[in-house]
Amino acid sequence: MPKQSTDQLKTDRSSLVHRIRYALRNPSRIAPHVLRSARDLRLRLTHRDHVSYYRAVMASDAARDPRAAVGSRNEERWLALGEMQFDYLVEHGLKPGHRMLDIGCGNLRAGWRFIDHLDTGGYYGIDISPDILIAGKKVLAERGLQHKLPHLTLTQDLTFDFLPDDSFDVVHAHSVFSHSPVEVIDECLRHVGRVLAPGGFFDFTFDRTEGTEHHVLREDFYYRTETLVALAEKHGLRARFMEDWEERPHGQSKIRVTVPE
């Protein structure tokens, strides 16, 4: 996926004008979008809080294809996106002796590489979707990584209340905040500093906009960088936009959060 242009960064994908123009340019996508909209409306009516709603979305997507459920249209793309995440973290400080918390670990698209890289027991993955965690366990077995004893845990929120203080050198959330309303992001940033070990860092990606913040079907959320930086600072954290991530072939942006000494 190429780097986004200035026009793309200012696009409000929720606006009626954008949707009409997109439909005219991509008529083959109209029917799938209508079906997705109908499904999401049904799920929103039966699952009022966002976590329950998005868990139902993941169950629906994973039933069709676990790889597509985490945003990979085929096996090749699934492997490439996982490798991209892994390479970046290794280049930016992830060491075998670190303990890592992977928020939204999914079906271990990148997770199996982290598990292989880290020392035994060094990986802790959490996700809100039992369906995608089951798919992740299958990937773990396919890769022959059972001996690395990773933790794969279902969670309902991002308070990390079941984890001890100062536990993780690296916390990672790829394509999590891009599907999260601001109150979920705020909850994560309010609590993540407690579980970060001294000198540790938290990397997360997000869908960036330089225009009006918006969402599409409450599945895809677009935020301004300064909004998320300010949210982190509100909770006593230091946030830095990772400009070199923008050179990678990925449509999302990345921020690194640390706890000031």
Residues in the chain, pLDDT under 50: 1
Q: Label residue 71 left, alpha or beta by phi (over 0 means left) and psi (-120 to 50 means alpha).
A: left
SS3 content of the chain, % helix, strand, coil (to 5): 50, 20, 35
Quick one: pLDDT at residue 23? Answer: 64
pLDDT tens, residue by residue, 94-124: 999 999 999 999 999 999 999 999 999 999 9
CB contact at 8 A, 69 and 62: yes
Q: Cα dihedral angle (90, 116, 101, 109), rounded to 10 degrees?
A: 90
Give the whole-angstrom CA distance, residue 68 versus residue 192: 28
| Domains of the chain, first to last | 6-258 (3.40.50.150)
Give the whole-angstrom CA distance, residue 123 versus residue 131: 20
User: If you ran DSSP here, which 8-state letter would residue 155 be given?
Assistant: -
Quick one: pLDDT at residue 179? Answer: 94
For the packed helices 50-64 and 130-142, what is the interaxial angle rounded to 10 degrees? Answer: 40
Give the whole-angstrom CA distance, residue 162 versus residue 168: 13
Quick one: pLDDT at residue 4? Answer: 63
The first and second tokens of residue 217, run together, are 């079907």
Give the whole-angstrom CA distance, residue 240 versus residue 63: 37
CB contact at 8 A, 118 and 98: yes
61: exposed, middle or buried (C-beta count within 10 Å: 0-12, 13-18, 19+)?
A: buried
C-alpha pair distances (Å), 111 with each of 100, 121, 134, 198? 10, 13, 14, 23
Quick one: pLDDT at residue 22? Answer: 60
Quick one: pLDDT at residue 64? Answer: 79
Picking from 187, 145, 164, the residue whose alpha carbon sits closest to that of residue 173 is 187
Non-local CB neighbours of 151 within 8 Å, separated by 6+ positions: 121, 123, 124, 125
Quick one: pLDDT at residue 7? Answer: 61
Non-local CB neighbours of 111 within 8 Å, separated by 6+ positions: 82, 102, 105, 123, 125, 136, 139, 150
Quick one: pLDDT at residue 156? Answer: 93
